[in-house]
């Protein structure tokens, strides 16, 4: 056995334990009894302690020191690159801080859910202050004198800095604001109305998951407050949610999470339970969920097929034809919730969070002032006031569970998706004809071949550049949004 062989055997066991921890998180969101939260916190802290010990095990450093990377192939070098990066980063965080963070964020999730249900920010404030304090400590340890927010961002999008995002988002924001302003002055398509049985929604949503290539023999669809995808390899699960008055919420949440899940299911099976056996970054991950949901799922071609499926599932539901249905699916609406936002306004929700969380981490914004800052920024960006905390600062689970640096990857993923969509349509000129038949195989196959199969083999931006033939830029996304919504709203 070589040092590389020993390192990979050890890493596979560590990765397997990480998957178990992820399954605990999935259970907490879907099936765990409410009063089990304190015990689950202890369980999560215990397994996090084991994982931290393995990630910082001195033998990992010894094996890494003995490996001659020049003698490895491309896959071996990539495996070592990821393990070295993880070892260096994890070694900077004290074990007791890692365990405390796991315990506190697990309990924080339950307290946030209760506060959200009661629209009571004050009830969550002290817990959130503890989360912020612990995350700052972790960020300072990781930054080692550098920028704390950049250190946090590196957990989700290696190679990208806040300055990079600020430039990209700075170019995106005025274009989105101008497009939204033009749309507000135009005549809107008719909205969907009526009530739609949730059981029928779940039946159709599972059909949609399969239509987009989700392998149900290695996955499942459940309900959760906040839709998400969990797992990798041979066990990749998704959740969705239902609302009798809004079936689109269910259907497009499902398609979105299927994009994430198909990325994980599409990775080369040789990489199973290794650092390469999962999505390379959250931005690239989000590019898959957004291109599935928006550029494919909300296209005129695919919504024409979905219109027929809706009629079959629900009978006549008040929309006269496929073109009206396309307008209803893509209608730009005033709303508070990021996950329900249309394509034009979605990124504005993300940019709000990006600015606020940077201020929180820098100490320029205190928890006690966060709700007011959120409400003021929301009114400035969207033109109306937040009506309650569950529609405002308490709507997302990310901050309560300590995911700082995560939010900007949503918009970065949209930018990546814009680049990929342009390249994919060049490669498959007949794509709309296929989507109109509910056939996504060529599109999802192109994404699997050009993005998904590589897992963590390449760095995030390299993945996008290889697939799209261009360095990531916001311009294709802007062009796509302008063309689509100028058509829908006859601008």
Question: Which residues are part of the catalytic machinery?
Answer: 257
Instruction: List Cβ neighbours of 205 (8 Å cut-off, separation of 6 or more).
Output: 221, 240, 250, 251, 254
Q: Which H helix or E strand runs over 221?
A: strand 221-223
Q: In angstroms, what CA-CA distances link 85 with 82, 147, 158, 299?
A: 5, 17, 10, 39
What gap in Å lies between CA 202 and CA 250, rounded to an integer? 8
Q: In what order do the strands lie in the sheet with 235-240?
A: 221-223, 235-240, 229-232
Rounded to the nearest angstrom, the gap between the alpha carbon of residue 52 and the centroid of all alpha carbons in its chain is 24
Closest CA to 491 of 194, 123, 185: 185
Strand 235-240 with 221-223, pairing: parallel
Radius of gyration for the alpha carbons in the chain, expressed in angstroms and rounded: 22
What angle separates helix 95-118 from helix 121-143, to the nearest 10 degrees? 150
What are the beta bridge partners of residue 221? 238
Phi, psi of 235 (to 5 degrees): -145, 90
Helix axes 58-66, 3-30, angle to 10 degrees: 140
CA 391 to centroid of chain Cα atoms: 19
């Amino acid at each position: 056995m070589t040092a590389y062989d020993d390192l990979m055997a050890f890493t596979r066991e560590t990765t397997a334990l990480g998957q178990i921890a992820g399954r605990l998180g999935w259970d907490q969101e879907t099936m765990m009894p409410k009063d089990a939260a304190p015990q689950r916190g202890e369980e999560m802290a215990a397994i996090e302690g084991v994982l931290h010990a393995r990630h910082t095990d001195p033998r990992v450093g010894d094996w890494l020191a003995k490996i001659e990377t020049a003698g490895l192939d491309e896959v071996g070098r990539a495996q070592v690159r990821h393990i070295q990066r993880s070892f260096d980063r994890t070694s900077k965080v004290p074990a007791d801080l890692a365990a405390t963070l796991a315990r506190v964020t697990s309990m924080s999730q339950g307290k946030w859910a209760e506060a959200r249900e009661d629209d009571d920010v004050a009830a969550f404030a002290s817990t959130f202050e503890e989360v912020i304090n612990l995350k700052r400590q972790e960020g300072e340890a990781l930054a080692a004198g550098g920028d704390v927010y950049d250190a946090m961002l590196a957990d989700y999008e290696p190679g990208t800095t806040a300055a990079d995002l600020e430039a990209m988002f700075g170019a995106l924001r005025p274009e989105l604001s101008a497009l939204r302003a033009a749309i507000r002055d135009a005549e809107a398509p008719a909205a969907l109305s009526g009530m739609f049985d949730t059981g029928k929604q779940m039946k159709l949503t599972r059909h949609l998951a399969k239509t987009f290539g989700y392998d149900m023999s290695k996955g499942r669809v459940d309900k959760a407050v906040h839709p998400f995808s969990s797992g990798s390899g041979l066990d990749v699960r998704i959740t969705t949610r239902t609302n009798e008055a809004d079936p689109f919420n269910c259907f497009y949440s499902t398609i979105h999470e299927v994009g994430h899940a198909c990325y994980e299911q599409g990775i080369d099976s040789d990489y199973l339970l290794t650092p390469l056996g999962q999505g390379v970054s959250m931005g690239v991950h989000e590019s898959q969920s957004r291109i599935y949901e928006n550029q494919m799922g909300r296209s005129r071609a695919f919504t024409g097929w979905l219109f027929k499926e809706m009629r079959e599932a629900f009978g006549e539901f008040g929309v006269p034809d496929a073109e009206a249905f396309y307008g209803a699916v893509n209608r730009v609406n005033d709303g508070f919730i990021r996950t329900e936002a249309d394509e034009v306004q979605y990124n504005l929700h993300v940019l709000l969070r990006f600015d606020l969380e940077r201020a929180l981490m820098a100490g320029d914004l205190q928890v006690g002032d966060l709700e007011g800052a959120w409400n003021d920024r929301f009114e400035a960006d969207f033109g109306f006031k937040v009506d309650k905390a569950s529609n405002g600062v308490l709507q997302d689970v990310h901050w309560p569970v300590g995911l700082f640096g995560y939010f900007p990857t949503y918009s970065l993923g949209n930018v990546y998706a814009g680049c990929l969509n342009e390249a994919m349509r060049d490669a498959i000129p007949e794509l709309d004809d296929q989507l109109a038949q509910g056939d996504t195989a060529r599109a999802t196959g192109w994404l699997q071949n050009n993005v998904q199969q590589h897992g963590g083999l390449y760095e995030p931006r390299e993945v996008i550049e290889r697939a799209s033939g261009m360095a990531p830029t916001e311009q294709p996304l802007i062009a796509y949004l302008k063309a689509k919504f100028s058509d829908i709203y006859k601008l």
